[in-house]
Structure formats: structure tokens, C-alpha cells
Structure 1
Amino acid sequence: MLRAFVRSAPSFARAARAHSTKAARFALFSPHALPIVRRTAVSATVVGSQPLLRQINFYSTEAALKDEEPKETLIEETEVVTGQEQHHEFKTETKKLLHIVANSLYSEKEIYHSELISNAADALEKLRHMQLIEQGFEATHPLEIHISVDKEKCTFIIQDFGIGMTEEELNQNLGTIAQSGSKAFLENLEKEGGSSMSKDKIIGQFGVGFYSTFMVGDKIKVYSRSARPGSKGYCWTTDGLGSYTLAEAEGVAVGTKIVIELREDSANFASKFTIDSVIKKYSNFVGFPIHLNGTKVNTVEPLWTQDKSAVTTDQHREFYRFVANAWDDPQFTLHYRTDAPMSIRSILYVPEHLLSNELLGQRLEPGVSLYSRKVLIQPKSKALLPEWLRFVKGVVDLEDLPLNVSRELLQDNVLSKLRNIMTARIIRWFHNESHQNPDKFNKFFLDFGQFLKEGICIDAQSKKDIAKLLRYETSATKEGELIGLKEYVERKKEGQERIYYLLTPKRKFAEESPYLEAFRKKDIEVSS
């Protein structure tokens, strides 16, 4: 790019410095900063008859925008209704039930998104199963979930290329609240002695998740065509006021497409950023690719479903950073799986350092989230582990988790049982680390020992086991060298019946304490 300017040399220098400084400040401090691209301009200042050429660097984000932002692919509503619309009344006390589902059943609006993705994953799993046992089932597209949001139209669209629905199934599954196609599918599998793997992967159990869309939408359209050979496409439409219409349609792909016209107070769900965050929070580990406006967004694998020996250190590092929202590395890793007394799959981490507001007196949030079959149930669950273990990060997946109808709350006392199992396993994990890597464990204790001490005070059930993890400096050790109570007892003097300790903030104060002199004379070890 060649530009000719007639300016003095000092003015060029000032202009260049001002422009580059402003660009650098934007890049460093703006929360929306984009990569800065340098462009070179050649200026010419005429001195007599000879031009003086100077190079000036201009900075722009224009090229970066073109390079960084991939072209978005939106799902278009290309289907055409060709048949006569049939009006139907819902088969239950619809107004009352829809009001409960849309306004009282779920604690957060964003849950609707998780419910729709779970339904889509169920549909894909059903198609995959039917292709294995029967001939003729169509699979016109890859087994994927596609989501499209459009701010201008204020719409949210989700499409899967799964099993789809016939006219009868649309009336049965969508026309009746709490009529779950997934539940019926599982019952048929049980009767036929079907694959336990397929049963484990079906998420939907209640048949109300679809109606969570009325928390955010005024009008809902469902286009669906069954994968069964010779099936027709249909358009199912409702405004949730007690009735729906059903009509034959052309251009409907095998599978199901749901179009939600968002309410004014839910327009934020037409934001790509919002939906991307919700996917990563609730549905990142669903077993099928999820595409948002043409870009795959669930790129992190659910490592807890894999064999321990198959997971590399790099994979653990990436997964830890994702679930902990951190940039350090884990210093300890526990990949724990068991089928009795509960079917548990989990991965837990201890951060490398305690880098948090806990150092400033603010309590850490719990770091472990509860999943069921790779679907988030409770993010950063406060009830999953005792509070003193809040520094542990990771995931616990309980396959046989009984939920209430909204999938948000647990039934019975399953969580307390799970809590006891996981707490005992974590303490055993720490014991193993203290024996296998004593120096590394002592370093861990210097950062995280305060949590173990808290556990002794508040966890009556586990305090004896936690006490074995405590580490101390003593009058017989070098500065920075730590030992446990067991080691102290093993080397106490003959006839010594008590453990002696000094409460001081620093080792120096203990060494200068007059109380220590009497013990030194008798060669008795004192901890601090």
C-alpha cells in the first residue's frame, strides 16, 4: 500500500507513535481486544527535487476480523406445509401443566437448552440402535446436533438427524405431557432383552423436557420425519395455550428440527455467546458433535468414560484446565471408577497451587460438578463433597442417579451415600500420595494443609483418617522438613506417653520460646 504525504519528519514521528501507542493500549486493556495487524505505509516528503521515503506502521483489527471470524452457517426454515392443518386439543389439563412446566418446574431458564440437547442425543442414539437391529432405516446426515441462533429474527433452532417421528408419534409424544418416547423405548428394550449400552445412553425419562421451551418461547414449531422407510414429514405447531396443529410438510429432513420464536424477555438466548456458554456448562460431554452456527463447540472429551491407561498427561492437563477454569497444571490426579455399591465414573484433581481469594479470606466455591450419563446435573455441587474438600476440582458421574422430573434435584438420599463414598476414596487417595511421593505431598500440605485441618474440626466421621494426613515441623527436623503423627510416635523416647507441641505462627518463635528449653534438655521432640 503506497500513500504520499507532505509532512515534516517530526510530524510523521509523532503520528506514528500516537497511532501505535493507541493500538497497543487497546490490545492490552480492552476486554474485547482483537489481534492487532500491522500495515506498512510508505510516505514521501519532498526536499528540493528529491523525495525522502519513510516507513510508517499503521495498526488495524480489520484483517484480524476477516481471518479470525469463520463464516457462520445458520439453519434456515425451508420446509413447506402442504397438507391441511389438523387442530388438536392437548390430552391433559394442558394450561395448568404447561404453566407449571414453564414457570415452576425449573430453577433456571437456560435448562431448556440442556433438555433439548438431551432429547436430540436420545433421538440419535435410538437411530443408531435401530440401524443395528433392523434394515432400511435412513441416515441421510451424520449423527450430529446442530443449533442456530439469529439475533435479528430472535429465534433459536435446534436440529438433529436422529430417529424422527411419525404423525402418530408426534401426537403421542408431543400431544401428551409426561409421555416420554425415551421411557417407552427403554421399556421395549427391557421386554426384548436389548443392549444395556443403549439403555445406559438414553437420557430422557419423563417426557416434560420439551415443554421447558415455553420458559423462553412464544411459539414453537417442530418439523419431523421418521427414519422408517417411506415416512412423510410433518409440521407440529403450538403457542402453548391448550391446543396444537399438525400438518404434512415437504422438505423435511429425517430427524427433528425445533424452531423457537423467543419471548422478549428471553432474547439473550438468540446470542451465540450465551448459547456457547450454556452448551459448555450443561452439555459439553454429550456423546454426539454439537455445532453452533456451523462451528463445533463440544471439543473436550469426557475423559472419565475412558480407561485410565488410555488417558495421557496432556489430556489430563487440558481437561483439568477446562473443568477448573484454570491455567496451571494438576499436581495430583485421581481417575476413579467403580460399579459397587454405586456405578461411579470420576476424575478429580488437586491444583498445583492455591491461587484464589481463599488467601484473602474469601471462601472457595466447590470445585466438583455432578453429572449423570455425561449430562450436567449440579454444577459445582455443594452437597457432593464436604466443604473442607472444596479445593478439589473435577467431575463425578453417577449413571444410576434417580432424579426428580426436572432433572435438577436428586431423589431419596442418594447424594449423601455418594458423598460418603467419594470422601473416603479421596482421603485414601491422599494417603497413597503421601506414601508414594512424600516430598511432593509435603509441598501440597504447605499450600492446602489448612483445608485438612478444617476437615478435622468439622468432619466428625472422617477426622481420624484426616489426622493421619497432617504434617508438622518439629524441634528434631530441619526447617521446611515435615513429618506426620505416626512418624513422631514411632521415634518418641522410651517412656514418653504424650505428644508435645507448641502453638506458634513461625518456627523461629518456637525455637526462641523458653518453654522449649525443658524439652531440649530431656531430648524430647516437640512439634509446631
Structure 2
Amino acid sequence: MSTAETISPLEEGTISVQMENIFPIIKKWLYNDKEIFLRELISNGVDAIAKLRHLTVMGQAEKSDEEFKVDIKIDKEAKTLSIIDNGIGMTTEEVKKYINQVAFSSAAEFMNKFGDKNNDIIGHFGLGFYSAFTVASKVEIHTRSYQPEAEPVLWSCDGSPRFELHAGQKEGRGTEIRLYLLDEEMEFAEEARIQHLVKKYCDFLPVPITINGNVANRQKPLWERSPQEVSKEEYLEFYRYLYPFSPEPYFWIHLNVEVPFVLKGILFFPKLSHELDPAKGNIKLYCHDVYVSDHVEDFIPRFLVTLQGAIDCPDIPLNVSRSMLQNDPYVQRVSTHITKKVADRLKEIYNKDREDFLRSWQDIHSFIKVGMMEDDKFYDKVKDIVVFKSTRGDYTTIEEYLVRNPQLDKKVYYTSDEVGQAHYLELFKQQDMEVLSMNTLIDTHFIQFMEYKNHEVKFARIDSDISESLVDKDKAKIVDPKTNKTSDELIEEVFKQELAVPKLHIKVETLKSEDIPAVVLLPENARRLHEMSQFMQQAGMNEHVDSLLEEHTLIINANNPLIQSLRKLHGTMSEKDNLHLICRHVYDLAMMAHQPLRGEKLTRFLSDSNKVLQALSNKL
């Protein structure tokens, strides 16, 4: 039996004829987010304490040694949940005004405005006191004003338009909201469930929140302190508190802005397990120290969602659609500021401790590259700190590479697969030519982006072009007196006759290296289109990837002993089969650096390999 049923009412009345229609709407609207009632009621209690503190400072209320707090009491047998504060309290007239009129009008206005936008409103702020009826069959307010002569008041409502006012029995100042839980909402009578919700929504509110007498919230957020006052260990401890069992972050950014807008928070860059790992991101959004949401993708640039941490934005428009957030001036200023601070922090680490920056590069490069491609201002700030692994063994920027290699005329040679392109790499290394490693998924897009931003710089994969530095221009061309053709022309003729592959261009060069008989070159643009098509194929959008590789060039190395010996076989009928076999095998080996052989091609290659081995064994 509730307290209100034991006392004759001083007054009965109707809150509003709309009440009967609004409560079912509220319950349906908050069906998946009914837990926010606790946040709303605790916030009201904290506000009541803040008001009393202000009156005390102004000399309008008596000072007290009593500790301010919000206490939550659970009585499973009685099926009640009580939220109790020792704040300002209310008189009878204030209950009539703030509960029957203001609170109801606010809830009614809120539902009329947002009732059909449940999934599009962040936070669901504004329902306040009346959100309690989403989980309770009846709600009582036991309150007593801080004013010396004030009498206690008891307000009661069972969710119908009717309410009752009674003389209360509360002894001290403050307010208790007592909820008589519905049978299907008894999860909110579980202490563990309430502890979880307090930590989720109210962990950083500035007064103790106790559950059956035990403090359940942290109270003091680290972002409220000056960055100069916070030690490295405190930042790491705070990170471990927010994200238990996570490895230590690479770095953090302490936001502390007062003018021209208010923004506080701490953002951490976590260790990522994949190149692009937005699932790692989890920025918690707060408003006046109350948790709002961890879905901030409409609030900050997309590439920043990999960050973790918390930001408190007291001026964020809470009850607007997510689509409107992106165009809100305050949100845009916050987004721009966070982007700037991240860029500044990256540059600071690069300039002050390049070694530390380089150690982290493999884990942060994709984040930086995506940010550059999506945000021009971010690009302008960090473009000079983007580095690539060099065949010289260290990391280098593009600018540093071009300064060291002026002979390349602003061409950047790179490898996307150091294993698959090993023999191409060997050609470059033998001539002491520097090659950069661009072997991650995002580099395919980033290379084109860099060319767009820097028109004078061109990127060429090492298997798309033969640099003049690899060719021996001084080696004389030998002319065959019988045919009046150079040795290069004869070799080219041999391969064209023996291969007869459609869309294959054959070119003979005298490379400085003797080790490699031939290499296949793919035009840079065609090969990039091929790589993009591979991505589309993986997504089920393109089934004709291999066709993009049809146009290619076979570079025959005239300086290779095997190639030189083919000239002797040419024109010898008894060796025609061997000549055909060797030419085809040289071509297949060169092609395998670009794509694996499949089906009939693989079967033929294995057969040819056996024939080559057999021919060698016959000469033993």
C-alpha cells in the first residue's frame, strides 16, 4: 500500500485532459530507450542541489554541513525505485506549478514536436519528470522546501489525468521521486542494472550518486581540469577507466575551449588492429556532464570516429534531427576545432619526437590518409608529415625523396608488393635507385589523390615503367650481316613469332642487370583501373578483372645470357620446338609477377616446366 493511500487528500484535480492520450504515446516512443527515465530524474535532483547551492552562496538559504547527494533506493519487495535528493525541494504551490503545469506542458510540447521521430533525435532530452511513467504504474513525489516554514507535500498520480495532493511526512528538505514499477519493468529493481545506468549516464555529475548508500559515480571528469594539471599517468588511468582491457593509446588531446564556444573533453588515439578500424572508435558525447550518446558520426568528420574518449558540449542542440546537426553552426565549429587539434597534435609529435612518430606510423597512417582525402584543412596541416618506407631502410616524405632523386624529374617509383615484385625491386636496387613502399589497401586511392593535389608529381609502380637508369645505353648494338638486323631486332622478331599473344607489345632493352631475362610492364593507368576493379569484384560488382590486364608490354633483356642464346636457336629447324618452349616459359614467368596462372594456363606452365627440366637432364 502506497503512502498516498493512507492519507486523505488535501486536493484532487486533473493535470490535463491530454494526459490520457500522451502517456501511451510516450511509452511507445521510448520503447527502446525507456532507461533514460533514470537520467532525467537524477538530473532533476542534481539541478535541485545546484539551485540550493546558489541560494546559499547568495545568502538566501541557510548553510548546512550536510553533504549534498542523490540517493537511489531499491525495494524489490515493494516493487519501488526511489530517487532522493537533498536539494531545494518544493512547496505545495511549486508542486502545482512545476509538476502539473510546467513539467506536463514541456512533455506535451516535446511529444507533439518529436513524437514521430524516435530514431532521429539524439539523447531524447526534454521529457523530464514524466518519463517516469514509461516504467511505473504510479509515481509519488515526497518533497519539502528549503524555506524554514515550509510543510512537506505528497503528490501522487497513477498515469491517468487525475492527481492527488496530500500533506506529506518528509522530515528534511529535498525531494523523493518514488516509482511503483510495472511488473514487466522489474529489471529496474535490480541493483546491478541501476549501477550500470548511473555509470552510463551520470558518472560525471558533480554530486555523489549513491545506490542503497554506496557511491556509484566517479563525479569529477578529468576534462574539467586544466591540461597543465594532469599527468601522463592520470590520462592513462582515465583511459583504462573508460576502456578496460584496451592497450594504451598512442596519444591524446585535451580539449579546453571557453571562447568563442564551450568545448571540453579528452580524445585518445587507440591502437588499431586493422588499417581502417572505425569499430574501435567510441567517442562519448556529454552535455553538462550528462551522457548523451556514443553515436557521434553526424557530429564530427567521418575519419575521426576511430578516436576514443569523451567530449562535453554544453551548447549542442539536443532535440534536433541528426540530419540537422551537420548544418548547425555550433556543431560545425566544434568539428573544425577537433580536426585542427588532432592535426596540431600529430605535427607536434612528428616535430618533437620523429622516432616515436615513425614507430606508430604503421598504425596511424590510414587514419591520416583518410583524413587528408576527406578534409582539405586537415590535408593542409599534415601533408608534410606523411611518410613512406624506403628501400634505403628508413622512412621518408615525398619531398625528401624528390630532393634526393632530382634525376627522376618529379617521378616517384613505388612498390605495392615487395615479395611479388621482388625481381623488379632487385633491378632498382642494383642501380642504387630508391623505391618507396606503398603496399596498403588505402594507398591505391591515396596515390591518385596525391597526384591530384600535386600535378607536377607522378607516381609509377616499378613494374609499369623501365627507368632510363636501368638501361645500358652505352652498349653497342650488334648487326647480323646475314639479315642486316640488330640483335635486338632479331630477339624481338623471335618472341613475336613464338608467342603471338593478343594485345602484347614486345620491346627489347639492354638492362644493366644480366640476371633477369624479361619483365612484364603494365601501363600505370590501366593497372590502377585493374586494382579498382578488383575491389569491385570483391564487392560482387565486377566479374571481368583479368580483361584489364590484356594490354601489356614484355621487356626482353638483351643482356641476359639465356636471351642471347636464343639468337643461336633462331632459324635452326631442329631447335624450333625448344625455341618455342623457352620463349613461352620466359613470358609465363614474367607474367606470374602480376597474376597467378589458372586453369589451362597453369596446366600448360607445369607441362612446360617438366619439359625444360627434361631438356636439362638430357645434357647432364
Q: Which TM-score applies when normalising by structure 2?
A: 0.61
Asked if structure 2 preserves the Cα contact closer than 8 Å seen for 1:89 and 1:243, the reply is yes
Could you tell which deviates more after superposition, 397-406 or 277-286? 397-406
SS of the residue 2:74 aligns to:
strand
2:183 aligns to what?
Answer: 264
Residue correspondences, number: 420
RMSD of aligned Cα (Å)? 3.3
Asked if structure 1 preserves the Cα contact closer than 8 Å seen for 2:89 and 2:146, the reply is yes
Asked if structure 1 preserves the Cα contact closer than 8 Å seen for 2:283 and 2:294, the reply is yes
Q: Which TM-score applies when normalising by structure 1?
A: 0.71
Match status 1:329 vs 2:248: yes
Distance 1:145 1:342, change over 3 A: same
Distance of 2:97 and 2:30 partners within structure 1: 22
Aligned partner of 2:427 among 501, 505, 517: 517
Asked if structure 2 preserves the Cα contact closer than 8 Å seen for 1:83 and 1:249, the reply is no
Distance of 1:486 and 1:108 partners within structure 2: 53
Render the CA deviation track for 1:162-219: whole Å, top value 9, x for unaligned.
Answer: 00000001011110254699xxxxxxxxxxxxxxxxxxxxxx9986310011111110
* Deviation of 1:436 (Å): 1.4
Supply the AA of the counterpart residue of 1:498.
Answer: K
Asked if structure 2 preserves the Cα contact closer than 8 Å seen for 1:178 and 1:206, the reply is no
* Deviation of 1:148 (Å): 1.6
Q: What runs of 5+ residues in structure 1 fail to find an aligned partner?
A: 1-76, 182-203
Distance of 1:485 and 1:248 partners within structure 2: 79
Match status 1:487 vs 2:410: no
* Deviation of 1:340 (Å): 3.4
Aligned partner of 2:220 among 292, 301, 315: 301
2:595 aligns to what?
Answer: none
Select the structure of larger CA radius of gyration: 2
Matches within 5 A, 1:124-523: 124-137=49-62, 139=64, 141-178=66-103, 208-299=127-218, 301-351=220-270, 353-354=271-272, 358=274, 363-404=278-319, 413=328, 414-459=330-375, 462-476=378-392, 478=393, 481-489=394-402, 491-494=403-406, 496-506=408-418, 512-514=422-424, 517-518=427-428, 521=431, 523=432
Aligned partner of 1:526 among 435, 439, 459: 435
Q: Percent identity?
A: 27
Distance of 1:407 and 1:116 partners within structure 2: 25
SS of the residue 2:255 aligns to:
strand
Supply the AA of the counterpart residue of 1:293.
Answer: N
Distance 1:424 1:405, change over 3 A: closer
Render the CA deviation track for 1:17-43: whole Å, top value 9, x for unaligned.
Answer: xxxxxxxxxxxxxxxxxxxxxxxxxxx
SS of the residue 1:165 aligns to:
coil
Distance of 2:381 and 2:258 partners within structure 1: 24
* Deviation of 1:104 (Å): 2.1
Distance of 2:242 and 2:284 partners within structure 1: 9
Render the CA deviation track for 1:250-304: whole Å, top value 9, x for unaligned.
Answer: 2342100011111122211111111111111111000101111211111263011
Supply the AA of the counterpart residue of 1:243.
Answer: R
* Deviation of 1:432 (Å): 1.2
Q: What runs of 5+ residues in structure 2 fail to find an aligned partner?
A: 107-122, 438-620
Asked if structure 1 preserves the Cα contact closer than 8 Å seen for 2:39 and 2:198, the reply is yes
Distance of 1:364 and 1:496 partners within structure 2: 41
* Deviation of 1:321 (Å): 1.2
Distance 1:145 1:134, change over 3 A: same
1:190 aligns to what?
Answer: none
Asked if structure 1 preserves the Cα contact closer than 8 Å seen for 2:30 and 2:134, the reply is no
Render the CA deviation track for 1:377-407: whole Å, top value 9, x for unaligned.
Answer: 1124222333333332111111222222899
Distance of 1:518 and 1:410 partners within structure 2: 52
Distance of 2:105 and 2:351 partners within structure 1: 51
SS of the residue 2:129 aligns to:
helix
Asked if structure 2 preserves the Cα contact closer than 8 Å seen for 1:166 and 1:226, the reply is yes
If each structure's helix is expressed as a fraction of its own residues, which one has the higher value? 2
Distance of 1:422 and 1:83 partners within structure 2: 58
Distance of 2:321 and 2:136 partners within structure 1: 18
SS of the residue 1:513 aligns to:
helix
Distance of 2:428 and 2:397 partners within structure 1: 23
Asked if structure 1 preserves the Cα contact closer than 8 Å seen for 2:326 and 2:332, the reply is no
2:608 aligns to what?
Answer: none
Larger relative contact order (C-alpha < 8 A, sep ≥ 6)? 1
1:54 aligns to what?
Answer: none
Could you tell which deviates more after superposition, 90-99 or 400-409? 400-409
Distance of 2:175 and 2:361 partners within structure 1: 53
SS of the residue 1:501 aligns to:
strand
Asked if structure 1 preserves the Cα contact closer than 8 Å seen for 2:222 and 2:238, the reply is yes
Supply the AA of the counterpart residue of 2:279.
Answer: L
Distance of 2:325 and 2:304 partners within structure 1: 21
SS of the residue 1:267 aligns to:
helix
Distance 1:173 1:409, change over 3 A: farther
